[in-house]
Amino acid sequence: MSPAPPFQPVSPVPSAPPVVSLTPTIDTDERLRSIISLQGFAGSWKVTPALSGLLGIDHKAVVSAAEQLESGTLSLSDGATKDDVWATVAVILFFEEKMPEKKDSWELVVEKALQWLEGSGLDVDREDKTKTSVWNSARKAMKII
């Protein structure tokens, strides 16, 4: 009879956040609350399947668009990543273009996000968002041209 294999404890595997698809069953207020709940303490968002679903963008397209940004042109600081910048810009555009009627609910959230973007080294020109590649990339992925 062979000895039993040594006991190896199994560490718990953290579960991924649920993927939320863009469906008509999610009302505007719930979508708004869900997007806001994903905002980090500092004001940014992370590229996640949940965020992609809420914004109605294919997650693979989001990851691809964020990867294509040229790091050298962004001059990021404070530990910011291209993904964080791209996701944060995409959320701002989504709120402004897809939820203008809810501006009273998201306005301060966007201001915090803009402060994070500026503090991270992104030149945020509120008058001409077409000047930077990150705004253009997010607009194309979201089909806001």
Quick: pLDDT tens for 79-118: 777 888 888 989 999 999 999 999 999 999 999 999 998 8
Amino acid at 32: L
For the stretch 15-58, pLDDT in tens is 444 444 444 478 899 999 999 999 999 999 998 999 988 988 88
Query: What predicted TM-score, i.e. pTM, was given to this entire model?
Result: 0.73
CA gap 79, 75 in Å, rounded = 11
How crowded is residue 70: how many other Cβ atoms within 10 Å of its Cβ? 9
Kindly tell me the burial class for residue 141, based on how many C-beta atoms sit within 10 Å of its own C-beta (0-12, 13-18, 19 or more): buried
Q: Is the confidence at residue 129, as pLDDT, over 60?
A: no
pLDDT of residue 141: 73
Question: Is 8 within a domain?
Answer: no
17 alpha-carbon distance from chain centroid: 14
Question: Is 5 within a domain?
Answer: no
pLDDT of residue 134: 73
pLDDT of residue 92: 93
- Residue 83: which of 129, 109, 41, 120 has the closest Cα? 120
Q: How many domains does the chain have?
A: 1
Amino acid at 77: S
Can you give the residue range of the structural domain that contains 112? 28-141
